[in-house]
Amino acid sequence: MGTRVAVLASGKGSNLQALLDDPDVRPWVALVVSDREDSGALVRAEDAGVAAIFLDPKAHPSRADFDRALLQVLELENIDVVVLAGFMRILSGEFVRAFEGRLLNIHPALLPAFPGAHSVRDALEWGAKVTGVTVHFVDEEVDHGPIVLQEAVPIEPGDDEHSLHERIHEVEHRLYPRAVKLLGEGRVRVEGRTVRVVES
């Protein structure tokens, strides 16, 4: 039996779709969880025959309670790796520690530049010439954990948020399945802040 991956998503689920479209990663995707009942990610999961769960934040009095409920779901499903794909909630330290070294996020910038929820807009407003995509481990600080993969995306004259987002998405959809595959195959080593990929 291969690695069991859970994908947490709040939005349309385009990065989830990239994982489902990858022939190596698809068999590992065992569960999709969303904090939004109308999330496109849940529809994509159901269409692919993957277990899909809506976990209602309003049903839990605090962030910690929500995260404990989420942990219970993941434990019941014997999840090995958790992948964040546009999941718009900050996870508690308790959750992060439970999946330390097995929890990935993707961010539309070259971290440590432009962290936070508005990184594409921030890069444009700063006048940056290059931004990009970062896949990183999640730690207890936002957009901070050790970097697994990065790829630059040039900012073109005349770019707006939409056009730049589109080109960033193209890179995300290529990079994320690769990172998940590396982790699932046990080919990622973390040494302090440095991530080394072991050749197969």
Q: Active-site residue numbers? A: 107
For residues 151 and 136, give the distance between their C-alpha atoms in angstroms, rounded to a whole number.
Answer: 12
For residues 20 and 168, give the distance between their C-alpha atoms in angstroms, rounded to a whole number.
Answer: 19
For residues 188 and 90, give the distance between their C-alpha atoms in angstroms, rounded to a whole number.
Answer: 24
The alpha carbon torsion through 131, 111, 84, 164 (nearest 10 deg) reads -10
Q: Residue 89 burial by CB count (10 A; 0-12/13-18/19+): exposed, middle or buried?
A: middle
Paired tokens of 197: 């990929």
Closest CA to 161 of 110, 129, 111, 125: 125
Measured over all CA atoms, what is the biggest interatomic distance in the chain, rounded to whole angstroms?
Answer: 50
Q: Return phi, psi of residue 127, to 5°.
A: 80, 25
Q: Return phi, psi of residue 194, to 5°.
A: -95, 130
CA gyration radius, the chain = 16
